[in-house]
Amino acid sequence: MFTTSDFKKGLVIQLDGAPCILVDVTFQSPSARGANTMVKTKYRNLITAQVLEKTFRSGDKVDEADFERHKGQFLYADGDKGIFMDLETYEQFELEADAFEAIAHFLLEGTEVQLGLFEGRMVNVDLPMTVELTVTDTAPVLKNATATAQTKEAVLETGFRIQVPPYLNSGEKIKVDTRDGRFISRA
């Protein structure tokens, strides 16, 4: 059981029977006369991926979710679903099509991830902050290209399309930010 004083970004609580991760927490005092502090939260339901907001009164209690994080590995894509393995127990989990589609373009076989397990079933996959992928197709290098704001489109080995600097060639490895899908640097 958590109280609102335990709330912090990244805490996993249980709301309406589902595990929810706190994305943002703000404490507000409505007046200086000692009225109850309000705790405004923004949270993401780990099953539906919906981002919602809820306000609690100071001292309110919420249930702790039966949620565990385990080291995992992406094994392969099975149609439109992803198959992952827990590296501690070697148990395999299947990620449904909707959730897998959002992260599939960052995953190669063997990529290490964090698995989120709720009541023994996988509900969440956290990717590493960056991944290294190979450029498979892009326009030829532009002569006298500099690292200015110019970009060109490149296709990565996973089929993901990304904007890259004009000096990159096909076959080069690059680092990609998994949070927003942008080019970071050469690998």
The band of 124, judged by pLDDT with boundaries at 50, 70 and 90, is: confident
The band of 81, judged by pLDDT with boundaries at 50, 70 and 90, is: very high
Residue 40 · residue 58 · CB < 8 Å: no
Domain boundaries, the chain: 2-64, 68-126, 130-186
The fold adopted by the segment(s) 68-126 is: OB fold (Dihydrolipoamide Acetyltransferase, E2P) (2.40.50)
Position 23 scores a pLDDT of: 93
The band of 13, judged by pLDDT with boundaries at 50, 70 and 90, is: very high
CA separation, residue 114 to residues 77, 84, 128 (Å): 17, 10, 8
Q: Which two tokens stand for residue 157?
A: 């080995």
Task: Give the tens place of pLDDT for each residue, 22-38.
Answer: 999 998 877 666 567 88
Does the fold of domain 130-186 match that of domain 2-64? no
Position 31 scores a pLDDT of: 66
Q: Amino acid identity of 131?
A: V
Residue 88 · residue 70 · CB < 8 Å: yes
Residue 85 · residue 75 · CB < 8 Å: yes
Whats the size of the chain, residue-wise? 187
Given a cut of 80, is residue 114 above it in pLDDT? yes
0.85 surpassed by pTM = no
The fold adopted by the segment(s) 130-186 is: OB fold (Dihydrolipoamide Acetyltransferase, E2P) (2.40.50)
The fold adopted by the segment(s) 2-64 is: SH3 type barrels. (2.30.30)
Q: Which two tokens stand for residue 154?
A: 């490149």
Which H or E run contains 103? helix 97-103
Q: Where would I find the beta strands (DSSP E) of the chain?
A: 2-3, 12-15, 18-28, 38-45, 51-57, 61-64, 67-78, 81-86, 92-95, 112-118, 121-126, 130-138, 152-156, 161-164, 173-177, 182-186
